[in-house]
Amino acid sequence: DTGVSQDPRHKITKRGQNVTFRCDPISEHNRLYWYRQTLGQGPEFLTYFQNEAQLEKSRLLSDRFSAERPKGSFSTLEIQRTEQGDSAMYLCASSLALDSGYTFGSGTRLTVV
């Protein structure tokens, strides 16, 4: 396994459309995180999965956002009715334990026009 994979790398969508991103974590990692990063800022936590259970959601994650991790493997992040303010880099990370730190994917850059 070469790392955390995210697809697509870039997505341009019109305001109001729905988009879905996929993350494939490192296979033995049971913890998966989604973060959002805007230009010039550090990543901001969105949500966390341990295996298939979504255990924490940030208040940044409005009801237009939903994330899933079926069977504790890959994860998807869907944004419904996209707004221009949703334009950002969406990062997925996985980990096995705290001391190993996170392994981030290269992210999906979303541009809402």
Q: CA torsion 65→27→108→39, rounded to 10°? A: 90
Cis peptide before 8 (omega within 30 of 0): yes
Interface with other proteins includes 53 (CB under 8 A)?
no
CB of 71 to other proteins, least distance (A): 20
Interface with other proteins includes 25 (CB under 8 A)?
no
Q: Which is nearer to other proteins, 18 or 38 (CB)?
A: 38
Interface with other proteins includes 34 (CB under 8 A)?
no
CA 112 to centroid of chain Cα atoms: 17
CB distance 28 to 96 below 8 Å: yes
CB distance 67 to 50 below 8 Å: no
Q: Which is nearer to other proteins, 42 or 70 (CB)?
A: 42
Binding site for other proteins (CB under 8 A): 4, 31, 33, 40-45, 48, 50, 55-56, 91, 93, 95, 98-99, 101-107
